């Protein structure tokens, strides 16, 4: 599935997803596969990633967006500071990606059960 120009609802925000090549003159995504831009409500992901890297990067950036919307990275909150947030987000994204890879039935189960009203 092509994720370029898709949108996600995360909390009260609509977040767009765009493929973006690294821009070395702007130091934009030169040391990572993706980024969440909170002031623009946008996730950028490098094109041409292998499937698992793209999925893991998208999940990683979604978690950054959740942290932002939940104010967990604000001054005085548990993930204040770039190092703390990155450590937690990276650990969760990597573990969840591996869980989904190793347990193919899980995403189907979650999708089917979350559709049900009861």
Look at residue 108 in the predicted model and tell me its pLDDT. 95
Q: In this structure, what are the phi and psi dihedrals at residue 104, rounded to the nearest 5 degrees?
A: -55, -30
pLDDT digits over 12-42, tens only? 999 999 999 888 776 677 789 999 999 999 9
Tokens of 38: 């909170």
* Residue 2 included in any domain: no
* Residue 102 included in any domain: yes
* Residue 12 included in any domain: yes
Paired strand residues for 114: none
CA distance 13 to 25: 30
* Residue 1 included in any domain: no
CATH number at residue 38: 1.10.10
* Residue 107 included in any domain: yes
Rg (CA), the chain: 15
Q: Is 46:19 a contact under the CB 8 Å cutoff?
A: yes
Q: Which domain holds residue 62?
A: 7-115
* Residue 80 included in any domain: yes
* Residue 30 included in any domain: yes
How many domains would you assign to the chain?
A: 1
Split at pLDDT 50, 70, 90, the class of 117 is confident
pLDDT digits over 61-116, tens only? 999 999 999 999 999 999 998 899 999 999 999 999 999 999 999 999 999 999 98
pTM of the model: 0.91
DSSP assignment of 20-65 = ---BGGGTBSSSSSEEEEGGGTEEEE-TT--HHHHHHHHHHHHHHH
* Residue 91 included in any domain: yes
Task: Return the higher-pLDDT residue of 5 and 30.
Answer: 5
pLDDT digits over 45-55, tens only? 999 999 999 99
């Amino acid at each position: 599935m092509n994720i370029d120009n898709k949108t996600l609802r995360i909390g009260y925000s609509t977040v767009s997803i765009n493929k973006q090549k690294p821009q070395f003159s702007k130091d934009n995504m030169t040391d990572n596969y993706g980024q969440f831009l909170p002031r623009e409500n946008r996730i950028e992901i490098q094109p041409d990633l292998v499937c698992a890297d793209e999925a893991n990067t998208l999940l990683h950036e979604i978690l950054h967006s959740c942290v932002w919307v939940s104010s967990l990275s604000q001054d005085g909150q548990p993930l204040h500071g770039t190092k703390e947030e990155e450590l937690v987000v990276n650990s969760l994204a990597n573990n969840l990606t591996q869980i989904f890879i190793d347990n193919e039935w899980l995403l189907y189960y979650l999708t089917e059960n979350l559709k049900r009203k009861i």
